[in-house]
Amino acid sequence: MTPAEIAPKDRLIVALDLPSPEAAEAMVNRLGDSVTFYKVGYRLAYAGGLPLVGKLADKGKKVFLDLKLHDIGNTVMQGVESITRLGATFLTVHAYPQTMKGAVEGRGSASLKILAVTVLTSYNDDDLHAAGYRLSVSELVEARAQQAQVLGVDGLVCSPEEVGSLRKIVGHQMNLVTPGIRPAGAATGDQKRIMTPGRAIAAGADYLVVGRPVVEAADPSAVAEAIHAEIAQALG
Ligand SMILES: O=c1ccn([C@@H]2O[C@H](COP(=O)(O)O)[C@@H](O)[C@H]2O)c(=O)[nH]1
C-alpha cells in the first residue's frame, strides 16, 4: 500500500503488550473507534493471545502479529504458511536472508504482509558492537533493507531516524513501520532511537507503533486521539 492509500486512522498501531487476552480485549473495548490497528507481540501471544488475532479481524480491526520469527529457512517457511490462516495483516521476521526468503515463500500469494525487523529500536551503535557487529546502526539498517527488497519482503520495521535514508533505497514500494515513538514528555523506557508521532510522520513513516504511552496511560483513548491529531497535522 502506498502512503497515499493508507487511511490516516490506520497509521497508528497500538501494541497490546498486556498480560492476558482478557486484559487486551478490555483495552480494545476501552479504545473503541479511536484505534483501528493493533499489534500482538510476545507478551500477549505467549499468554494465549493468538486466537485474538481472528477475533479482532472479525471486528474489523487490523492486526500486526509481531512474532519476529528467526530459524532455518524451511522452518520459517512452514511457520509462516500456518500464520497466513490467522487473519493478520502484518507479520515480522528478523532481517536475515534465509529467514526473509523462507517467510516470503511461506506467505506465497496470501494477503499477509511480511515485515523485516532491521535493527531493534532499543539498540544504538554501542549495543550493536557489543553484539559482535562492526557496522553502525544506520549501515546495518540500510544493508538489511537492500537485502529485504531484493528478497521480495513487503515492508521494514525501523526507527523513525532511518526513514529518510530508507525511502531513498526502497522508495514507496515497501511500507516503513516505526516503533520507538514517544509523544513529547512520555517516558522513553528502553527505547533508544525515538521520535514524536508528528516528526516520524513528517519524516515519511507509514505506520507508527505505540505501546506503553497508550496502554499504560490513565486515559488511553485521549492519548490515542492526541497521536491521531499529531498525525493529521503532520500529513497536512
Ligand atoms: O525494533 C523494534 C521492533 C518492535 N518493537 C515493538 O514495538 C512495541 C513498542 O512498544 P513501546 O511500549 O511503545 O516501546 C513493543 O511491542 C516492541 O516489542 C520495538 O519497540 N522495536
Q: Candidates 209, 215, 227: which one to mutate for ligand 1, based on the most atoms within 8 Å of Cβ?
A: 209
What does the pLDDT read at residue 3?
74
> pLDDT under 50 in the chain at which residues?
none
Q: Which domains does the chain have, with CATH numbers?
A: 3-235 (3.20.20.70)
What does the pLDDT read at residue 1?
77
Question: What's the chain's average pLDDT?
Answer: 97
Ligand 1: centre distance to CA 179 (Å): 5
Q: What's 201's DSSP letter? A: H
Query: What is the CB < 6 Å shell around ligand 1?
Result: 15, 17, 41, 66, 117, 120-121, 157, 179, 189, 191, 209-213
Whole-model pTM over 0.95 = yes
Ligand 1: centre distance to CA 183 (Å): 14
At residue 173, the 3 state secondary structure works out as coil
Cβ proximity of 65 and 38 under 8 Å = no
Cell digits of residue 180: 520507538
The percent of residues above 90 in pLDDT, for the chain, comes to 97
Give tens-digit pLDDT for 52-84. Answer: 999 999 999 999 999 999 999 999 999 999 999
What does the pLDDT read at residue 15?
99
